[in-house]
Every structure is written in structure tokens, then in C-alpha cells.
Structure 1
Amino acid sequence: MYRFIKLSIAPLAIISGLTQAAIPYQNHRYNYTQPTGEIVSISVEGNDYFAYQRARDGRLVIFDEHLNGLAYAQVSEDGQNLLSTGVLVSKKSAQDVKQNDRRTLSQTAIQRKIAQAKNKLLGQQQLKNNGQTTNHNDVSVQSTGKIKGLTIIIDFPDFPGTINKTQVESFLNDLNYSEFGNAQSVRGYFRSVSGGQLDYTNTVTAYYTAIKNKSYYADSRYGSTVRSQELIKEALNWLEFTQNFDFSTLSVNGNGQIKGLNIFYAGNSDSSWSKGLWPHMAWLSPQFCADGVCTDRYQITDMRDSLAIGTFVHESGHLITNWPDLYDYDGSSEGSVASFGVMGYGAIGETNRFKPTPPVAHFRNLAGWDTVTELNPAINNNAPSGALNHISGSNTSYKWTNPSNQNEAFYIEAIHRSGQNSEQVDQGLAIWHVDSRGNNSNEWYPYIQMEHADGNREPENNINRGDNSDLYDLAGEFSATLPNALSSKGTNAQWWDGRDSGLIIRDISDAAQSISFTIDTDATPPSGDIYTGYLANQEQAIVPNGSWFQYAGGTLDMALQGPSNADFDLKLEVWQGGRWTQAAISQTPTSNEVITYQANSGYYRITVYSYSGAGNFSLTLSK
């Protein structure tokens, strides 16, 4: 027996994880039928949370609720909103609207719209079900063995499906699949990138024919979750009461919620971006429960007249493994990982939508698919050094972890244009700088940063989505000073707090299936005393342990790491004239602060304080 459970919506928390789950669009084009009957072609650049829509001539477009159609848009004088000009997009009206397309929204406006969209689509990230809180932000969920998802195919009384059930089953489950130009099925992709450790299949329903005609659900006067969720609930009720479907056969997470709920509907979306039946991922509210399990997140998309696995694979990365997006939502960059990983743009290009790139080494490790070797002798007493090699696609990787912050590390792997990596834009040795406190929309402190071999940081500077000079090959070197001088913006072997990680990679061989390189045995890993604690908003803590220390003189190195959504500062004080006097201070608008101080003999203490925000901190003191 089914039930729909009404759930309270918690305020959106700005944290890394599944608050970051949106479909990316790159030069995506769709046709829209205006209320006049004219069909106009519209391009979309962005994602579910924020996108610019443009007409064929490049002018901005917005849905006008009063006109019930797409109108030319202009940016408001304060740069905060797109406003309709009141003129419907049409070839006939091309000369009627003053061109105002060079102006775009301010970054603060874009960030506000992204937050609003996240709250609308994913705001129920801390749902309470039977007294349990659902954590959708745990990216460390392992995904091995057999996982069974559900794919519901839907058509409409006035729009029958043209892609049959057998074709959808093959698209999802066949191990030898090539229809519509795909190089593999969805199941084939996950078996490949997991080294056979994940077998993700889907039960495909017969066609459910919706109660109402397609135009009812595709009505662009409603946001994408309104009529879409009405349609999904119809289909779930049909499965339960008419088809007697056993929902307990599906794989669930630790809270008994279905991992892979997918909806395919016939034809195009027939809606404006973010409206009607526009493809998206969201939480189903209220929850549907039957046979002892409940719904959680879902993805819904149009079948059109062909199927490409890229978007389905990308969204499954959210649904079944909890991986976050790695591209930049606000459009200020192309993200650091760019096209080199499936959770960036590695599933939506002209070729990789048919054969997506693998997840980066860190995500494979989290899923339990890679054997990872720790190289930092400060972490692993038996760490290998000297000449090493790595084989592309071998489900192994190396990592160099920060002793002061176990959530920060450099991952190292070979990428060769063969096998699952055949659609990569470059080949060579890839180095990923991972820090779970980073944010994908902050290009200068992302969750995962590619350490670009050319040092140019072109994706971060919004120039491209990766090119053939981004991976390390013959004569490349990676250290605290190479490949460039942008130490404050990464692309060197420094921790985000500015300290030298001690990692040096040199003697890299030419790009090949197997790449050799040398870990410099002369590298001395940083050392020091580590102090941790928690600060409430505008609270302070004295280090060490609420007291002071005596120092004979020399260099004092202090490195503070705090939460990315707060501003913590660092101050060194010396006892002089019967009171504590400031010796040095670091006050950047972040929680990562560094002080290097040439100290005389004396008594010292360190103050860590919150200028704004709260959270855990780690302070490393080296003498």
C-alpha cells in the first residue's frame, strides 16, 4: 500500500555535496512554440539553477507570464534582474527591440538566483522520515555490487511514445550497446569506470499514459517541479495500484529511500527553461512510500527522437553515488576540472555525451572503486618514493594527504586517450587538488582543482573547458613553485593555507597508457603541532590550549584552516611591558590564514577568532 508523506522544508545550507546537483547545458538548443503558433529556436547556456537563454540573433530571452510566451529581455538598470520588453521573440520582431545584450546580471544577482533555485529544487536536503534525518551531503557513500534503479517511461493521450520499452531497456542495461550513436549503455559505463565493481541496472516500466494532454504538464506558466511532480505522482500511483509493482525490489540508501528514480517522457520538453516539463533533478514532495521504501530524489528528462547516455550518467552520479557537480554554477568560470571529469562537462560534449569521461580519481576512491596508495611519508611510514608509474584506467591512483587536514590531498593518475578515456581533451599525468571545504562555484578555491600543467588556468579564467596542454607529460614538473607563480590561486604543490605540501613530481614520461614519474625523495614533509577547536560566531580561542608558550627565538610558522563559509582570523601576541601585545596578524576575507614571524626569545600566545561565521578550525604551529 502506498502513502504520500508531507515533509517540512529545511532552509538551504550552503555546503558542498548534494546541494550541488544540476544538469549542465552547453550550447543547448530547443524549439519553443509561441502563443502565436510560431516556433522559435532558443539556446541555453548554464544549468538548472541559472542560465541565459538567447534567440537566434543572440539577444537575451525570458518567459513572460503575461504574454504566456518567450519575450526579448533586457537587464534592469541595477543589474539585478532580467526584464521582459513585452515583445515576443519572432523573426518578424527582429527590428522592433533595441539590442541590449552586452549587459549581463551582476554576480551578486546570479548568486542570489542560484540560491533561490537550489532552495526550490533541493531545499529538502534534511528531511525527517520516521525520526531520521536524511543526509544527502555525504559524498563518501560507497557504491559497489548490484544497484537496481527504476525508470518510468511516460507518454500522453495526444503524444504517444516513439522510442519503445525495449529500446529504453537496451539503453540502460545492455552490455553491448550502440544504438543512437552511443558507445555503451548506462550500465556499461558504470561497469567500465568502476572496474566491474558496480553493476547498475534499471527496471523499465511499460508506458504510462498520462491523464491529461502533454500541454497541461508542459505549461511554462509553472515552475518545472509543479506539473512534473504531478505527473510523477500519477505514474507512481499507477505502478502501485494498476501494475502491482513491488517497490521493495529497488535499491535504497540507509534511510530506505530509492537511490535511482528516473523518468523519461515522450518527445521534447515543449517548455521554456526551468518551466513546465523542463528536465531537472529535485526531491519529490510529498514523498511516495510503498512496500517499505520511499522516494527521495528523481531525475526527469525528455526522450526526444534519440537517446544519449551522457546526461543520464551525470545525473546518476548524483543519485547513486552522491557526487556533487564540479562545474561553476554562476558562469564566472568553466570550473577547474572542466571537461576532464563526468561531474564537470565530461558528459555533454559532441562526442562524450555518447561516451562520457570517467569520474576523477577522488570520486572513484569515495565510491570504493580504486586502490589508492598514500605517498606522504608523514601519513604512511611505508610510502613508496622514487620512480613510480601509473596505468590509465587501472582503477588505482596515488594520493598525497595533508597531515593537518585529512580532507585535503593531491591525487595523481595517468589519463590516456583510450578505453573509457577516449574522449578526453588531453592525455598525460593528471594531478587533482582535493579539499572538501572548497566550493565548485569558487574557481579559486574549488572542491576539486585540476593542477593545469601549462599553469594558465584557462578554465578558471573562463577561456575554455580544457585543452591539450592541461595534463603533465615529458619534462613536466610539479612542486611548490612550478608550474607557475600563482601560488595564491593554486596550480602548485601548496596546501590551500599557503604551506608547502612537500610534494615534488618530476621526470614525467611522455603521454602513454603507462606513465612513469619520480616522487622526489629529498622532499621534507612539513611538520608542526596541530591544534583544533570550534568557534561560534565572533568567538575567539587562545592557542595552545588556552595558555601561552615560551620560545627561545627563531621562525614561527602558523597556518589556520577554517570553514569556507566563515571568516576566521589569526593573531600572534608577545608578552611585553606586563601585557599581551600584537606581534603579527593575518586577516584575509577567508578562514585560511598564514603567519611567518621571526621571533625573539620570549613568551607568546596565538588567538584564533571569528570575524563572522562558525565552525571547526585546525591550526598548525611550526617552530
Structure 2
Amino acid sequence: MDLSRAPPEKIWRHLKESEQVRNSKFETRYARMNPPAELYRPVANLRTFGPNKGLLEGRRLSEGDIKGLTILVQFKDVKSNVTQEDVDRMLNGENYTENGNFCSAREYFRLMSGGKLNYTNVVVGPITLSKNRQYYANHLLVEEALDMAIDSGVDLKIFDSQDEGIVDAINFLYAGQTQYIGELWPHNYFLKLKRGNMKTHFYMLSSLGRSKEDMSIGTFCHENGHMLCRWPDLYDYGVRDGDFEKSAGLGYYCLMSAGNHNNNGRVPSPVCAYLRYLVGWCDNVVRLTRPE
């Protein structure tokens, strides 16, 4: 590239894709968050309609002892000095406050649920994939990473709390900073793979960071809010909301809007009362209507 030459016509700084193109990409990506609809059920979507229809379609695991599998992933060209022990403390630790985090992911869900959800994770890895990071922007890393974890001795049966032959939750955390491109974009998807007598269901993929100073619980809790509780996002989807009004949704006041980014993800907002009510976490309901 000759940097001394002028740019082509109609090319200017900060040029972005049109809103139509961006929305089309988002629609494709979010469609993969839901399992295929059964013949007798409506196609799932991400809108919130009220107490009976406010959750995403699919298997919900918002109470009891739930054990997730977290696989740490490295690339041939990108590594991290974050250790298995570092991640285990962030996900499972008691009185965890390292790096400015308010608490561990387990403690966050325990607090939000009033003790109804005990979500722990078995952390394995890091495992090193066969290609450089850029390759996995266009090729989903999930199947390769899962097979390598199984080959290392991981038994998927211990992650089936309902004894249904389905893995409750799988988290893939890749080395390096977050990549907002292709299949490396942090996401929560449905993917059906069969390994022995076990099937996968929902999984989450996000970044691990370059060092332990990058570690935060916000995105992990947000994506597991989708995966375990089937909560929708509560930020503005633009035209996907059925309107053309610009808004901030619930802004920084809920984990499932922009609240997972508070203090760089280290102090995520509480889950709003509406979403906690939908999964049965509100034991005391105060009705503000005046009695007749």
C-alpha cells in the first residue's frame, strides 16, 4: 500500500457499514442463539412481551446446582499468561475481589437468585488450537476445542444436571483481547454436537484477555444469563425492535443491557427485577395498586 497517495473518491475517515447491513448481520448472528423450533412451537425471537413470553426459547437452568464446563483456548500465534487457577478463582471463588471485580461469577448468580442458583464451572486448559487466530474469525473454533478437551480426559456426563444426555453449559474463553469479527465476536449460540451419549446445546464464546489484569466477570455473566436463564438482551436493537426509534434500552441499569460493562466489566449491574421475576427469583412481590 502506497501511503503517499490520496484515498479513492468517496472514501473518508470512520466510514462504516450502513445500518441495514449491520442489522442484517446481527439478525443472522442472533438467530443462532435459539434452538430449532419444534413443529408445534412458534419460532423463537428476542423480543420481550411480558411475564409469559419474555424469555428466549429453549432449555432453562435457573435453579439448583448447575455445573458448567469452561475451556481455555489459545491460538498458534496468540497466547495468554492467564492460568487455569486464575480463571477458576474468577468463576468459582468465595470473597473474590481480584483485579477490582465485585465478586466471582458464581457469587454473582447466587446473589441475584437469592441462593436459588448455584452455578460452578470446571475449568480446563489452556488448549492450543491448530491454526492462527485469524483463521477462526471465519471458522468456528468450538468443535475443535471441545474435541481436544475430551481427548484430554474431560467427561461430559458430569455436566448433565438434569440427566437428559445434554451438557448444561459450555464456555469457551480465547486468548487475547476481544475480537469483534466473525466467529470470534463474543456470543451465545445453540449448536448440536453429539459425543458418545452426550449432546451439546447452548455454549458461550468470549475473550480471556492477554493477562490476568484483563479479567472481568461482566461479559461472562451476561452471556450466561442468555445461556442459563434464557434472558433476552434489553438494549435497543434498532429496527429489530419493530420501530425506528433510537434508545438506550435499559442503559447501564441491568446486566442484560449495557450494565455488564460497568467499571470495564468488573462491577456489572444487578439483573433487573423484571428478568428476575420471569425466572422465579422474586419471592416477595409488592403490588402498588390500591385495594378496592
TM-score by length of 2: 0.78
Give yes or no for the alignment of 1:302 onto 2:213. Answer: no
Distance 1:175 1:91, change over 3 A: farther
Contact 2:187–2:223 (CA under 8 A) maintained in structure 1? no
CA contact (8 A) 2:259 2:269 kept: yes
CA distance in 2, matches of 1:184, 1:257: 29
Q: How many residues align?
A: 273
Q: Structure 1 residues 209, 104: closer, same or farther in 2, change over 3 A?
A: closer
Instruction: Tell me if the contact between 2:157 and 2:167 (Cα under 8 Å) persists in the aligned partners.
Output: no
Q: Which has the higher contact order (CA 8 A, sep 6+)?
A: 2
Shift of 1:217: 2.2
* Cα pair distance change 1:341/1:232, threshold 3 Å: same
Distance 2:66 2:43 in 1: 19
Long gaps (5+) in structure 2: 45-54, 240-244
Q: Structure 1 residue aligned with 2:72, among 144, 148, 153?
A: 153
Equivalent position SS for 1:168: helix
4+ long deviations beyond 6 Å? 90-96, 100-104, 132-136
The equivalent position to 2:221 in structure 1, one of 293, 302, 313, is 313
Distance 2:10 2:125 in 1: 48
Change (3 A) 1:171 1:134: farther
Contact 1:141 1:366 in 2 (8 A): no
Contact 1:261 1:297 in 2 (8 A): yes
More helix by share: 2
How far did 1:264 drift? Answer: 0.8
User: What is the aligned partner in structure 2 of residue 288 from structure 1?
Assistant: 193
2:122 aligned with 1:203, yes or no? yes
Greater strand share, 1 or 2? 1
CA distance in structure 2 between the aligned counterparts of 1:96 and 1:337, rounded to whole angstroms: 40
Alignment counterpart, residue 232 of structure 2, candidates 300, 307, 324: 324
User: Distance between the aligned counterparts of 1:308 and 1:288, measured in 2?
Assistant: 29
Contact 2:90/2:96 (8 A) holds in 1: yes
SS of the equivalent of 1:350 reads: helix
Q: Distance in 2 between matches of 1:94 and 1:201?
A: 52
Q: Quick one: distance in 1 between partners of 2:4 and 2:206? A: 29
Over the matched positions of the two proteins, sequence identity in percent amounts to 29
Matches within 5 A, 1:166-315: 166-218=85-137, 222=138, 227-228=139-140, 231-240=141-150, 242-251=151-160, 256-269=165-178, 271=179, 273-284=180-191, 287-290=192-195, 292-305=197-210, 306-315=214-223
Please, what is the CA RMSD of the aligned residues? Answer: 3.6
Cα deviation digits, residues 28-84 of structure 1 (max 9, x gap): xxxxxxxx7xxxxxxxxxxxxxxxxxxxxxxxxxxxxxxxxxxxxxxxxxxxxxxxx
Deviation at 1:282, TM superposition (A): 1.9
1:421-460 aligned within 5 A: none
Bigger Rg, which one: 1
User: Alignment partner of 2:111: what SS?
Assistant: helix
1:397 aligned to which of 272, 285, 288: 285
The Cα offsets for residues 292-351 of structure 1, whole Å up to 9 and x where unpaired, read as: 331112111121231111111011101111111111112843344222211111111336
Question: CA contact under 8 A between 1:191 and 1:198: conserved in structure 2?
Answer: yes
TM-score, structure 1 length as denominator? Answer: 0.39
Unmatched 5+ stretches in structure 1: 1-35, 37-87, 372-395, 401-502, 504-519, 525-623
| Residues 115 and 216 of structure 1: CA distance in aligned 2, closer, same or farther (over 3 Å) | closer
* Residues 1:343 and 1:244: Cα distance change in structure 2 (over 3 Å): same
